[in-house]
Chain A
């Protein structure tokens, strides 16, 4: 897990080779290889149960007791944003944002992060008083305080309504442009993936089935005609037809 010297000099943030993971008899990942460059924004798509979350938990070193093998190199400083904002209900927003942070001036740093995500005024609120979007902004602020070299996002906008989700997409892109972490975004939303990511991966049968660089400059709208081709590619890789896909994304 430690950062080796080669990696410090190089431009790779994440390097995974031959990753194998299984739960009981069920094999989830079979010899997966993955590289993420520094500052690169990668989205990971896959059907449910394809092992997206297993991969993320491996990178975050949260997979205690899971059987497996492989080589995993990740940076020292990793932040994770979960699908639920996961704020401690007994801490006010600012205390949640700086939880565990022991660098200099934690409160100033926390306030700066809250300002960046646009909820500076809510620092003294209890988590139960926040809307879903505000809670997820606070979770983003908590991950920023640590200045992560790798930001792992596990369907962070899945529980938000469509309008809030679109706003959060804009915010996430801004924050990433500002702080330049390597990003791995797990999502089931093809439009989200192609709007946000530099590169979209599809996880299939335990390894990366498709690796697609999206060559459209930011900011992108998912209505951008140039994205249509990428969308089709990804739908095909995920095994869904365009009609069904449009229906599901609308329903989501």
Chain B
């Protein structure tokens, strides 16, 4: 664009006498706006609020049978009474503990193995193709084998969650490490960075966006595995509570469980995003 201006300027200097005066358009040209418009304030809560409103109206008017889905206020009061009589808190604690331990174990092993395979050719040869193979087997499919190995205690649950978390974190981080732009490698060579400086100042910061993609997928994965595990192989936890409620047709308790899963999923995702925004403040995307 600036080029065009410059050529125009040069031409004007060269032939000052022969510049034609083009009459200006009196009405400004209007352009159809194709980019997204300005965001509606609080846009992220509008959709859920509408759903909640429709649900409430359907329950209040009796269109929605309470045995199919209880009214929103029933879910809230049921949750409150479960909390008060002390049956909810232990289930929440044990579920949170499983998810957190599994996530920590999966994330740390994912990061360590990705570093080994991303930074050394030997590590790559040993680890990478193995993990790529493992990727073909869904981690939940390994439940039977792990029950035989570890029994159906907590260790087995944490292990299954950890594997589900490990895979996306490993894949995203190792590909971010190996996919570093070669131009930056060249720059580091010109500036004579030591191997450690190169890792610390170029490779690691460059791979952080990939790590965060992996962490976010890992968080989602940990909840998913937790839900499945608690509903089929548990004697405590939110999933067990919901599974029991099925036997007695208690849709309100099932909904309480779902709501808590949802809240935890939302909070953990927000936490990772918050960390991401802090750490990757140099990134300016279309959303900012």
For residue B9, which residue of chain A has the nearest CB? Answer: A163
Contact partner of B190 (CB less than 8 A), chosen from A62, A92, A161, A164, is: A62
Contact partner of A162 (CB less than 8 A), chosen from B3, B188, B284, is: B3
Asked whether, in the complex, the Cβ of B197 is within 8 Å of the Cβ of A100, the reply is yes
Asked whether, in the complex, the Cβ of B6 is within 8 Å of the Cβ of A90, the reply is no
A46 to B187, CA, bound (A): 24
Asked whether, in the complex, the Cβ of A126 is within 8 Å of the Cβ of B282, the reply is yes
1/0 per residue, CB under 8 A from B, across A45-68: the answer is 000000000000000111000000
Asked whether, in the complex, the Cβ of A80 is within 8 Å of the Cβ of B190, the reply is yes
A124 to B108, CA, bound (A): 33
A215 within 8 A of partner (CB):
no
Asked whether, in the complex, the Cβ of A162 is within 8 Å of the Cβ of B282, the reply is no
* Main SS at interface, chain B: helix
Determine how close the nearest CB of chain A comes to the CB of B106; give it in whole angstroms. 26
Which of A61, A78, A250 neighbours the largest number of chain B CB atoms within 10 Å of its CB? A250
B183 within 8 A of partner (CB):
yes
With A161-B6, A164-B2 as contacts: A79 and B284 at CB distance below 8 Å: no
* Chain A residue contacts of B2, Cβ below 8 A: 161-164
B138 within 8 A of partner (CB):
no
1/0 per residue, CB under 8 A from A, across B168-197: the answer is 000000000000000110111111110001
Among A26-34, A81-89, A194-202, the one that faces the other chain is A81-89
* Chain A residue contacts of B7, Cβ below 8 A: 162, 250
Asked whether, in the complex, the Cβ of B187 is within 8 Å of the Cβ of A86, the reply is yes
Asked whether, in the complex, the Cβ of B192 is within 8 Å of the Cβ of A100, the reply is yes
With A79-B190, A90-B206, A91-B201 as contacts: A128 and B284 at CB distance below 8 Å: yes
Asked whether, in the complex, the Cβ of B183 is within 8 Å of the Cβ of A84, the reply is yes
Contact partner of A62 (CB less than 8 A), chosen from B189, B197, B283, B284, is: B189
Asked whether, in the complex, the Cβ of A100 is within 8 Å of the Cβ of B183, the reply is no
* Chain A residue contacts of B283, Cβ below 8 A: 89, 128
A120 within 8 A of partner (CB):
no
* Chain B residue contacts of A99, Cβ below 8 A: 191, 193, 201
* Chain A residue contacts of B1, Cβ below 8 A: 161
A78 to B189, CA, bound (A): 11
1/0 per residue, CB under 8 A from B, across A90-108: the answer is 1110000001110000000
Asked whether, in the complex, the Cβ of B188 is within 8 Å of the Cβ of A89, the reply is no
Asked whether, in the complex, the Cβ of B183 is within 8 Å of the Cβ of A82, the reply is yes
Determine how close the nearest CB of chain A comes to the CB of B194; give it in whole angstroms. 9
* Chain B residue contacts of A100, Cβ below 8 A: 188, 191-193, 197, 201
Determine how close the nearest CB of chain B comes to the CB of A225; give it in whole angstroms. 16
A142 to B193, CA, bound (A): 14
With A86-B183, A88-B201 as contacts: A161 and B3 at CB distance below 8 Å: yes
For residue B197, which residue of chain A has the nearest CB? Answer: A100
Asked whether, in the complex, the Cβ of B6 is within 8 Å of the Cβ of A128, the reply is no
A162 to B3, CA, bound (A): 6
Asked whether, in the complex, the Cβ of A162 is within 8 Å of the Cβ of B6, the reply is yes
Determine how close the nearest CB of chain A comes to the CB of B188; give it in whole angstroms. 7
Asked whether, in the complex, the Cβ of B6 is within 8 Å of the Cβ of A86, the reply is no
B202 within 8 A of partner (CB):
yes
* Chain A residue contacts of B183, Cβ below 8 A: 82, 84, 86
Which of B5, B191, B197 neighbours the largest number of chain A CB atoms within 10 Å of its CB? B191
* Chain B residue contacts of A80, Cβ below 8 A: 190
A142 to B192, CA, bound (A): 13
B151 within 8 A of partner (CB):
no
A126 to B183, CA, bound (A): 18
B205 within 8 A of partner (CB):
yes
A146 to B283, CA, bound (A): 28
Interface residues of A in 123-145 (CB under 8 A from B): 126-129, 142
* Chain B residue contacts of A128, Cβ below 8 A: 282-284
Determine how close the nearest CB of chain A comes to the CB of B242; give it in whole angstroms. 44
Determine how close the nearest CB of chain A comes to the CB of B201; give it in whole angstroms. 6
For residue A92, which residue of chain B has the nearest CB? Answer: B282
With A126-B282, A161-B3, A163-B6 as contacts: A88 and B190 at CB distance below 8 Å: no
Given A78-B190, A100-B191, A162-B2, 18 more A-B residue pairs with CB atoms under 8 Å apart are A79-B190, A84-B183, A86-B183, A86-B184, A86-B186, A86-B187, A89-B283, A90-B205, A90-B282, A99-B193, A100-B188, A100-B193, A100-B197, A100-B201, A101-B191, A127-B282, A163-B2, A163-B6
Residue pairs across A and B with Cβ atoms less than 8 A apart, 9 shown, are A82-B186, A88-B202, A128-B283, A128-B284, A162-B2, A163-B2, A163-B5, A164-B2, A250-B10
Q: Which 4 A-B pairs have the closest CB atoms?
A: A161-B2, A100-B191, A90-B205, A162-B6
